[in-house]
Amino acid sequence: MDFILAILPMLVVLAGMLIFSRSGTVMSIVGWLFSIAVAVFYFKTPLSVALGASAMGIIKALGITLAVVFTMFLIFLMKETGALARVIEYVKGIAKTKEEQALFIGMGFGSLSTALGMVTPAMFPPIFLMLGFSPIAAIGISVLCYDPLTSFALFSIPVTLPAKVAWGPFGIRPEGIKSVEEFIWVFAHKITVFLPVISVCFAFLMLYTVEGKDSLKRHWKEAFISGLALSLSAYVIAAFRLLPVEVIGIVSGFVTMIVVYLMFRNGREKTPGSAWDASLFQSMFPFILLIVFSLVVNIPTIKRSLATVLGSREVITVIANKKADLNILANVWFWILVTCVISILVLRPTKDQLANTFKIWLQRIWGPFIAYSLFFAVAFVMAWSAMEIVNGKLVPSAHFAQYNMDRIIGITLAKIFGKAYPFISPFLGLFGAFVGGSETASNVLFAKIQFEATKMTVGAQAFMWIYAAHAVGGGIASAITPSKITNAAATIGLKGEDEAKLLKLVIWPVILMCVFVGAMVMYVVK
């Protein structure tokens, strides 16, 4: 009963979307209310702590929610001014067929963009729609773009941040690892071991969303090669430590774009739309500026400097001793906002175009904003369940070991699967990212659980493999995360039924990929 109640928020969200075709926005609200109810009335959590956890989740989600909100504005502005149409004309000039476009943009540019901190579910659906893709394919590929490298999005934050938390606050010391830097490299390397299978699966899935089996029959070889190009380039960088972990996704995405272009170049004729000129530069300026900002701001010395400019003025107390650093100037959403402001000056929209941009933007941002915020809130409610405030500090209560929802899930799975626990580890990552809307959140919130469960079952020496499998499962989860699906659907005005269609299309392939990862980790730790 404890286990069922602990996973009830996720079960409710899945049922609402799959069976009742409700939107991710609606189900995020329902799932959050269920999480509050079970945490307070069963898992011995004071209401003040549950509400504080919700507030912390919403604040922690701002890095994603605001990036989504301002990316949507940028895309709507480019569409209204005709800049997006000019970019589409250029893409059609260098990538002719829908299959080539899916692989070039989805596997290549999508991975590169995601690594730079761009939000593909917010950015790409209008692009694919204008390229002639069906609405379901447009949102499907845009969401899948986020996944092929699983953990190397946002300058590899899903790898580096959880590693620092695991080594520091959690005090996890895997066998043979002597520093946090070593932890990061080992973590990154082991993740890339799983990618050749996963990246190829995502390439196949992208093709399938285009025209089903016909697209796969025509271009499965190109999909296979693009998946290997993406994954093996990441593996080589991580295995031999050739470049900083933070740029793995950027380099691998760029390599894949080149490989896809070369595979399809035979018989390609140049078209007027593929010529580079001043109008194309102006149209692509927002993308170029955003890439430059993302690269410069994430240079370690610059990022550290920006993080200290506002000092304590951007640190807020959420509940008890729990504080949140908004880290505004070092956050990608701030530079997307700056890009939006500068792009208005460069694209020079008319008064009507600017008014229409704001009108559409204000109509469509609320669904993604609410979904991301409340799914993060659910993750923190679960993590803080059975905690209490004592002398102004949030601490585990006397009931924490028995009633913390995350512990119940992890320990129950460990007891059920025993020596086969490694097989289930990626599904815990899938669960964490599905509920929290983010692989990073899943990797942070479940690190200690995975460590304890690993020691209970197969021994602590297997932790890094199991934690890597968990991370890959969390990355795969982006394909079915309601917040991302809702985000993509909102950019082109689709409804809950369309979100449900996409979820039904990808959920079984996602589960199958986690099975592959589970089988692989079982093999390496046996």
Structure-token match 């082109």, residue found: 492
The confidence score (pLDDT) of residue 117 equals 67
- Residue 169 pLDDT grade (very low, low, confident, very high; cuts 50, 70, 90): low
pLDDT per residue over 241-280, tens digit each? 998 888 899 899 999 999 998 998 765 555 555 566 788 8
Instruction: Give the Å distances, CA to CA, from 468 to 58, 64, 186, 346, 362.
Output: 27, 23, 9, 43, 39
The confidence score (pLDDT) of residue 267 equals 54
> Which residues lie below 8 Å from residue 395, measured CB to CB, with a gap of 6+?
387, 388, 389
Is the per-residue pLDDT at 46 higher than 70?
yes
- What are the residue ranges spanned by the domains of the chain? 2-525
Higher pLDDT: 341 or 155? It is: 341
DSSP 398-435: TTHHHH-HHHHHHHHHHHHHGGGHHHHHHHHHHHHHHH
pLDDT per residue over 116-136, tens digit each? 767 788 778 888 888 889 888
The confidence score (pLDDT) of residue 481 equals 80
pLDDT per residue over 170-224, tens digit each? 788 998 899 988 999 999 999 999 999 999 999 999 999 998 899 999 999 999 9
Q: Is 388 helix (H, G, I), strand (E, B) or coil?
A: strand
Q: How far is CA 63 from the centre of its chain?
A: 12
The confidence score (pLDDT) of residue 437 equals 66
The confidence score (pLDDT) of residue 93 equals 78
CA distance 6 to 381: 11
Burial (Cβ within 10 Å: 0-12, 13-18, ≥19) of residue 75: buried
The confidence score (pLDDT) of residue 229 equals 97
Mean of pLDDT values over 286-299: 81
The confidence score (pLDDT) of residue 187 equals 96
The confidence score (pLDDT) of residue 273 equals 53
Q: Is 439 helix (H, G, I), strand (E, B) or coil?
A: helix
The confidence score (pLDDT) of residue 246 equals 80
DSSP 143-197: HHTT-TTTT--GGGHHHHHHHHHHHTTT----TT--SHHHHHHHHHHHHHHHHHH
Mean of pLDDT values over 467-493: 86
Structure-token match 């500090």, residue found: 393
Mean residue pLDDT of the chain comes to 87
The confidence score (pLDDT) of residue 211 equals 86
Residue pair 53/381 in contact (Cβ under 8 Å)? The answer is yes
Tell me the Ramachandran region of residue 370: left when phi exceeds 0, alpha when psi lies from -120 to 50, beta otherwise.
alpha
DSSP 325-358: E---TTSHHHHHHHHHHHHHHHH---HHHHHHHH
Residue 41 token pair: 């009335």
Is the per-residue pLDDT at 520 higher than 80?
yes
Instruction: Give the Å distances, CA to CA, from 493 to 83, 129, 437, 506.
Output: 20, 12, 21, 20
Is the per-residue pLDDT at 39 higher than 90?
yes
Residue type (1 letter), 180? V
